């Protein structure tokens, strides 16, 4: 009986976090943060923003490598990805074998692996 309740509590917490995330992503604060991230990235690199994996300037998504500072993200918490690579990152994470490592460590590792895979394919 306790195990069922524990899973229910975890499910409720996850639902609350997802709701908070969805609200933040739809907010003016996120739009401003995204615009500031792009401006800073272009200033630092002197180049237009592109997908961190394939280099496409048709990037769609600003992906969180960490959710720990949601709403107060550091520049390095975010990375530009095209939609296919963003979806690939989430599919790999959702596969489950990574979950006990921690989201940020996994995402940084998956980003490196995706870049290496892309380089081998096109290199």
Instruction: Work out the pLDDT band at 1, boundaries 50, 70, 90.
Output: very low
What's phi and psi for 78, nearest 5 deg? -120, 150
- Its pTM stands at 0.81
Give me the helix-helix angle, 2-25 and 28-45, nearest 10°. 70
Q: Which H or E run includes 91?
A: helix 83-94
Which sequence spans correspond to the domains of the chain? 30-122
pLDDT for the residue numbered 4? 52
Instruction: Work out the pLDDT band at 7, boundaries 50, 70, 90.
Output: low
Tell me the β-bridge partners of 61.
81
pLDDT, tens digit (0-9, with 9 covering 90-100), for 12-24: 877 888 888 899 9
**pLDDT mean across residues, the chain:** 87
- Other beta carbons within 10 angstroms of residue 41's beta carbon come to 18
pLDDT over 70 percentage in the chain: 90
């Amino acid at each position: 009986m306790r195990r069922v309740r524990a899973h229910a509590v975890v499910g409720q917490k996850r639902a609350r976090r997802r709701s908070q995330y969805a609200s933040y992503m739809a907010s003016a604060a996120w739009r401003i943060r995204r615009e500031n991230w792009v401006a800073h990235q272009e200033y630092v690199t002197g180049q237009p923003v592109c997908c961190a994996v394939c280099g496409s300037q048709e990037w769609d998504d600003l992906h969180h490598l960490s959710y720990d500072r949601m709403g107060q993200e550091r520049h390095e918490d975010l990375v530009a990805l095209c939609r296919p690579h963003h979806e690939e990152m989430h599919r790999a994470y959702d596969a489950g074998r990574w979950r006990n490592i921690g989201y940020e460590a996994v995402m940084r590792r998956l980003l490196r692996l995706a870049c290496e895979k892309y380089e081998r394919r096109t290199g």
